[in-house]
């Protein structure tokens, strides 16, 4: 009944060539401890699906990535992600660039097991030019409007970090924004949750209302307790962003930063 | 009266008449201040947010938390609101062309960019679904280009929903021309039309009489200085 695992055990489940969705947003509540497990493993050729932050940057820097699917990669308080930039400018990764709203519809489609969802976001922009595989669909109703058919962002694995979870994988956010972590869990074949603290199921509602129970155990394969596991990204109310550490990440050559751990 | 105050007021004017919709200033400090100033003065029904996920019941200073919260707007609802359209967004741009197509994605060939920037973010959907304005703190031919490298935000020739105005450190521009191309609407006090033309890398429509951008009222200057931005962040954002 317990799904408690270690970071290394989660990393061992992820194989080269897999598609991995990573929760959070920019430099906010990213599952950095789980990402660290991937950095130490031999995995490569990953396709990452992410509202991208240092998760994408680090995996690019470590040569783990074949393709990034994202509407942006940013560190929020530092707008441009250095390692993602280098990978793009060096031509070492492929990039599927979507509008933010398109990306959400891709997650929603996958979560609902639909092949696509239609939206206006993306029409007329170069998102259509740089993703020649994107198709449009015409409304079958009287309006006849042409819309982008955003394909489902299905994924082999989702990695998310929440504030609390129980040993069976019920997971809770206590900060101001759920981001899209529930959608990643629902869009993935296997979802691994890391959390600040494992608690008894009976204690989940002691810290937050029932609406804070974001992810159900039926969507979760494994759960890992990783205090500080989103650092240096923000994980309110447990901690804010470690701006000093984020600055050090940007200013330090990757090999050096990575070796220092 | 500082140039920065003129710019904030010119951005605030973009929200005039918008009523009970979200004024989303997400293109820098000046755009945040503009939304809040408009709400505190001539457009009191506007909704404003804290830059994270709260709709504020009061109008706090830049960087301060609100004391009163009137709503919750996490990213998923912000993305819903973009499609819903009850929102006027003020964006930034690294490049913009004469029809208002904008780029925040990358510079150079998309397949192998010379400089990777943010990515398109929400610009395609924002400009397709919502009234959109721009704030460009450094008006130069590097930003105002004949052709953007990547169309992130749509121009009037690509189906933009409603491009309202472009405010820069030098001038206010709009798209009120027969073909929807960019027009010089006003120059800021102390700026000449020739300066704006020289700083623009494409041919602007120049009306016979170009008015001057209005100066802040005494109350607007006071609100900026004493209430909304006592630390003067706006001054650091505006190119001299």
Tell me the mean pLDDT per 10 residues along chain A, length 261: 96 98 98 98 98 98 98 97 98 98 98 98 98 98 98 98 98 98 98 98 98 98 98 98 98 93 68
Statement: the pTM of the whole predicted model exceeds 0.90:
yes
Q: What would the pLDDT profile of B163-204 be if each residue is shown by its tens digit?
A: 999 999 999 999 999 999 999 999 999 999 999 999 999 999
Contact yes or no for B132/B161 (Cβ under 8 A): yes
Specify the pLDDT at position B51.
Answer: 87
**CB contacts, 8 Å: B128 with chain A:** 120-125
How far is residue B53 from each of residues A47, A80, A178, B69, measured CA to CA in Å?
29, 22, 10, 10
Q: Which of B89, B124, B126, B149 to mutate to test the interface with A (most CBs of A within 10 A)?
A: B124
Cα B128 from Cα B183, distance rounded (Å):
21
Is A138 within a domain? no
Coil, strand or helix: which one is B67? coil
The answer to whether B123 contacts A99, with C-beta atoms less than 8 Å apart, is yes
User: Quick one: fold of B3-237?
Assistant: Glutaconate Coenzyme A-transferase (3.40.1080)
Contact yes or no for B167/B139 (Cβ under 8 A): no
3-class SS string, A99-160: CHHHHHHHHHHHHCCCCEEEECCCCCCCHHHHCCCCEEEECCCCCCCEEEEEECCCEEEEEE
Is A101 within a domain? yes
A203-242 residues touching B, CB cutoff 8 A: none
**CB contacts, 8 Å: B74 with chain A:** 176-179
**CB contacts, 8 Å: A84 with chain B:** 116
Interface residue B93 vs chain A (CB under 8 A): no
**CB contacts, 8 Å: A127 with chain B:** 120, 124
Nearest of B114, B117, B191, B204 to residue B153 by alpha carbon:
B117
Q: A195 lies in which domain range?
A: 7-116+154-250
Q: Which of A48, A97, A125 to mutate to test the interface with B (most CBs of B within 10 A)?
A: A125
Contact yes or no for B169/B238 (Cβ under 8 A): yes
**CB contacts, 8 Å: A125 with chain B:** 120, 123-124, 127-128, 151-154, 158
Q: What would the pLDDT profile of B131-140 be if each residue is shown by its tens digit?
A: 999 999 999 9
The answer to whether B118 contacts A74, with C-beta atoms less than 8 Å apart, is yes
**CB contacts, 8 Å: B160 with chain A:** 124
The answer to whether B125 contacts A88, with C-beta atoms less than 8 Å apart, is no
A78: domain CATH number is 3.40.1080.10
Is A121 within a domain? no
Cα B235 from Cα B238, distance rounded (Å):
6
Could you tell me which chain B residue has the CA closest to the CA of A73? B118
Q: Which of B116, B129, B154, B161 to mutate to test the interface with A (most CBs of A within 10 A)?
A: B116
The answer to whether A72 contacts B121, with C-beta atoms less than 8 Å apart, is yes
Specify the pLDDT at position A109.
Answer: 98
Cα B200 from Cα A182, distance rounded (Å):
46
A128-157 residues touching B, CB cutoff 8 A: 129-130
How far is residue A100 from each of residues A120, B11, B84, measured CA to CA in Å?
12, 25, 15
The answer to whether B122 contacts A99, with C-beta atoms less than 8 Å apart, is yes
The answer to whether B120 contacts A84, with C-beta atoms less than 8 Å apart, is no
The answer to whether A123 contacts B128, with C-beta atoms less than 8 Å apart, is yes
Mean pLDDT computed over B18-40: 97
**CB contacts, 8 Å: A124 with chain B:** 124, 128, 151, 154, 158-160
The model's confidence at residue B240, banded by pLDDT at 50, 70 and 90, is low
Is A257 within a domain? no
Could you tell me which chain B residue has the CA closest to the CA of A86? B116
Is A141 within a domain? no
- Considering its fold, how many domains does chain A have in total? 1
Is A124 within a domain? no
Q: How far is B123 from chain A (nearest CA, A)?
A: 7
Cα B61 from Cα B43, distance rounded (Å):
17
Q: Where are the domains of chain B?
A: 3-237
Is A78 within a domain? yes
The answer to whether A80 contacts B118, with C-beta atoms less than 8 Å apart, is yes
Is A158 within a domain? yes
């Amino acid at each position: 009944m317990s799904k408690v695992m270690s970071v290394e055990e989660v990393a061992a489940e992820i194989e080269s060539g897999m598609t991995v969705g990573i929760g959070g947003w920019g430099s906010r509540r990213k599952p950095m401890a789980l990402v660290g497990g991937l950095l130490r493993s031999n995995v490569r050729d990953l396709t990452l699906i992410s509202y991208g932050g240092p998760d994408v940057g680090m995996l690019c820097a470590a040569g783990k990535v074949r393709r990034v699917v994202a509407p942006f990669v940013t560190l929020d308080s530092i707008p441009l992600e250095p390692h993602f930039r280098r990978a793009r400018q060096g031509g070492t990764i492929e990039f599927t660039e979507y509008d933010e709203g398109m990306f959400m519809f891709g997650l929603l489609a996958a979560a609902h097991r639909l092949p696509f969802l239609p939206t206006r976001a993306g029409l007329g922009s170069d998102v259509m030019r740089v993703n020649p595989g994107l198709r449009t669909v015409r409304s079958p109703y009287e309006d006849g409007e042409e819309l982008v058919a955003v394909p489902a962002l299905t994924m082999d694995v989702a990695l998310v970090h929440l504030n609390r979870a129980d040993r069976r994988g019920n997971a809770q956010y206590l900060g101001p924004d759920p981001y899209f972590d529930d959608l990643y869990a629902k869009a993935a074949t296997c979802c691994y949750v890391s959390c600040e603290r494992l608690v008894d199921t009976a204690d989940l509602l002691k810290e937050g209302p029932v609406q804070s129970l974001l992810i159900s155990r039926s969507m979760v394969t494994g759960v890992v307790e990783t205090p500080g596991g989103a650092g240096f990204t923000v994980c309110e109310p447990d901690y804010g962003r470690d701006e000093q550490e984020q600055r050090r990440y940007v200013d330090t050559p990757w090999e050096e930063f990575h070796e220092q751990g | 009266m500082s140039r920065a105050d003129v710019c904030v007021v010119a951005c605030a004017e973009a929200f005039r008449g918008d009523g009970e919709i979200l004024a989303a200033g997400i293109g820098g400090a000046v755009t945040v201040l503009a939304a809040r100033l408009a709400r505190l003065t001539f457009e009191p029904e506007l909704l404003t947010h804290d830059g994270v996920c709260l709709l504020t019941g009061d109008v706090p200073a830049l960087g301060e938390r609100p004391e009163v919260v009137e709503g919750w707007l996490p990213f998923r609802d912000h993305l819903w609101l973009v499609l819903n359209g009850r929102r006027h967004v003020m964006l930034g741009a690294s490049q913009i062309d004469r029809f208002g197509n904008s780029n925040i994605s990358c510079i150079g060939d998309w397949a192998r960019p010379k400089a990777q920037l943010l990515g398109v973010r929400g610009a395609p959907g924002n400009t397709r679904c919502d009234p959109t304005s721009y704030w460009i703190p450094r008006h130069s031919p590097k930003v105002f280009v004949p052709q953007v490298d990547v169309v992130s935000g749509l121009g009037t020739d690509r189906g933009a929903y409603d491009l309202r105005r472009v405010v820069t450190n030098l001038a206010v521009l709009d798209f009120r021309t027969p073909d929807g191309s960019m027009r010089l609407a006003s120059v800021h006090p102390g700026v000449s039309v020739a300066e704006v033309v020289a700083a623009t890398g494409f041919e602007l429509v120049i009306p016979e009489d170009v008015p001057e951008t209005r100066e802040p009222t005494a109350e607007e200057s006071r609100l900026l200085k004493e209430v909304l931005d006592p630390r003067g962040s706006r001054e650091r954002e505006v190119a001299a």
